[in-house]
Amino acid sequence: MTFLNIEPNDALKFYLTRPHPCSYLPGREASTLFADPEALVSGRDYGALLARGFRRSGKLFYRPHCALCDACIPLRVPVAEFKPRRSQRRVLRLNRDVAVQRSGAVFNDEHFRLYKRYMTARHCAAGDAIGSQDYQDFLLHPPEIDCALYEMRVERRLLAVALVDRVPQGLSAVYTFYDPAETHRSLGVYAVLWQIREAQRLGLPWVYLGYWIKQCARMSYKDQYRPCEIYRQGRWRRLEPGTDVL
């Protein structure tokens, strides 16, 4: 692995993985830039990393850094300007019976069972092969990060769980999983809309949605939350409808 120094924190060191098969685009190679897993990353540092196109998975802060491809494009929503489109308003109406409650980002067996059902149905994973430690490693976070799991329920029935980080300038939608039997509710869409509303309520300017990959069906939906901005060539700019990404 390659040793690198980049902003925002001069004391934070970065490494670059060797090329490996891309998990999003078949036939392509990927490399990942990631912060030293042993380093102390404060909430402020994390916010600065998000603003430079990084994401978090468990204790790992990372960003694609591929030699021959830049298809993974960081995307965020300026929540003060956001206006749901007709189909999104329909999702909000359809889920008006859903109650959302904050839960600590700790292991919960009810969440874990839902996660296994979701992974089996949506990602062709063998639910029985998903271990609780793998799940916890995915949810674990450094203690300096303000992170929560938001339960979405109808009465007492758990429909979805959204893992959300809060930084000084916004919310980061880390991951959402939901009941695969409730596809008619479009719970993934609802979770994003709820996070946008929550950021509005908290007076935070941005919701970071991760990587928009136009060529990948499961990652191409993120530009449906308009207006939105993409991070290209070291700066954020508005993604205008009908324009090509440069």
Tokens of 175: 């991951």
- Give CATH superfamily name and number for 78-209: Gcn5-related N-acetyltransferase (GNAT) (3.40.630.30)
Q: Tally the residues of the chain.
A: 246
All structural domains of the chain with their residue ranges: 78-209
User: Would you write out the chain's pLDDT as a tens digit for each of its 246 residues?
Assistant: 555 555 555 678 899 999 999 999 999 999 999 999 888 888 999 999 999 999 999 889 999 999 999 999 999 999 999 999 999 999 999 999 999 999 988 899 999 999 999 998 877 655 567 888 888 888 877 778 999 999 999 999 999 999 999 999 999 999 999 999 999 999 999 999 999 999 999 999 999 999 999 999 889 999 999 999 999 999 999 998 766 555
Q: Distance (Å, rounded) from C-alpha 66 to C-alpha 32?
A: 7
232: exposed, middle or buried (C-beta count within 10 Å: 0-12, 13-18, 19+)? middle
For residue 17, what are its two tokens? 């993985």
Q: Which two tokens stand for residue 220?
A: 């191409």
Q: Which residues contact 226 (CB under 8 A, 6 or more apart)?
A: 82, 83, 85, 241
Task: Specify the pTM.
Answer: 0.92
Whose CA is closest to 94, among 176, 185, 192?
185
Give Dmax over CA atoms of the chain in angstroms. 51
